[in-house]
Structure 1
Amino acid sequence: MTLNLMDVPTQAGGWFKPKEAASAVAILLEVKSFDRQRPTPNGPKDSVLADIAIFHSADHLDAGRPEVFKGQRIEQTVLARDLETVVGGAVLVTVTQVPPTKPGAHPAWVWRQVSDPLIVQKVMAYADQRDAAVQAAAASAPSFD
């Protein structure tokens, strides 16, 4: 029998801080779950649980070595709601702030889709290499049959 190994979506990666990823060249978000109005100490919030790979610079992108966070929680309102329809999938984005539309409001963090084909190609190569390493590790695991 062949096993279909999957990760259990758990929050082990803390909370996503957009300010720390604002200068990233690319962010690969693999969305595991979306919770509408999840209870928090600061009141209910829309919340996303995701695995995040942040390519902070072109060098990290070229080397295929992102900073990886498994099970990170995203609770910024606009960021979380934009990912509601992506559960089970992935997006390649950057994050930036947009000025407020109302006087006295705070700037909002928003996702921007990565459209540069060279960046997309390099991130896809990273994902293919990562998946191949996982398959190789699973193939070399002992069989208990």
Structure 2
Amino acid sequence: MTLNFVEIPTAGGGWFKPADVKDAVAFLIEVNSYEAQRPTPNGPKDSALCDVTVFKSAEALAAHSPEINRGMRIEQTLLARDLEKVVGNATIVKLDQVPPKRPGAHPAWVWRPVNDASVRQAVIEYAKAREAAVQAAVADAPSFDD
């Protein structure tokens, strides 16, 4: 019998803070789960639990050396809601801000598609290389069935 290993999503990666990574070239967001109106000390919030790979610069993207955050909680309203339909999948995006609709309100953070084909391709190549490395490690693992 072969085992299908699955990671249990945990919030060990802290909370996503858009202002800290606003200038990143691209994000690879792998959405593990989504909870609408999850109870928090600050009231209920829509919440996505994700693995967030941040390519902070073109150099980091070219070198395949991103910042990897496993189990990161995203609770900014628009960012979390956009990830609801991506659960169990991944997306390549970047951050942007939109002006507030009400006077005195803060600009909202939103995901935008990465329109630069070379950036998208580089992120896809990184993801494929990472997956190939995982598959190679699994293939090299000893068999205890014998």
Q: Same fold (TM over 0.5)?
A: yes
CA distance in 1, matches of 2:140, 2:8: 22
State the secondary structure of the residue aligned to 2:7.
coil
- What TM-score does the superposition give when structure 1 sets the normalisation length? 0.97
Deviates further, 56-65 or 2-11: 2-11
* CA RMSD between the two structures: 0.8
State the secondary structure of the residue aligned to 1:53.
strand
Task: Identify the residue that residue 59 of structure 1 maps to in structure 2.
Answer: 59
Task: Identify the residue that residue 108 of structure 1 maps to in structure 2.
Answer: 108
Give, in angstroms, the shift of residue 3 of structure 1. 2.1
State the identity %: 61
CA distance in 1, matches of 2:96, 2:75: 16
- What TM-score does the superposition give when structure 2 sets the normalisation length? 0.97
Task: Identify the residue that residue 43 of structure 1 maps to in structure 2.
Answer: 43
Give the number of equivalent residue pairs: 145
Kindly provide the CA deviation profile for residues 17-62 of structure 1, in whole angstroms up to 9, marking residues without a partner as x: 0011100000000000000110100001000000000000000010
Give, in angstroms, the shift of residue 2 of structure 1. 2.2
Give, in angstroms, the shift of residue 107 of structure 1. 0.8
State the secondary structure of the residue aligned to 2:125.
helix
Task: Identify the residue that residue 132 of structure 1 maps to in structure 2.
Answer: 132
**Structure 2: gaps spanning 5 or more residues:** none
State the secondary structure of the residue aligned to 1:41.
coil
Q: Which amino acid aligns with 2:5?
A: L
CA distance in 2, matches of 1:122, 1:82: 23
Structure 1 runs of 4+ off > 4 angstroms? none
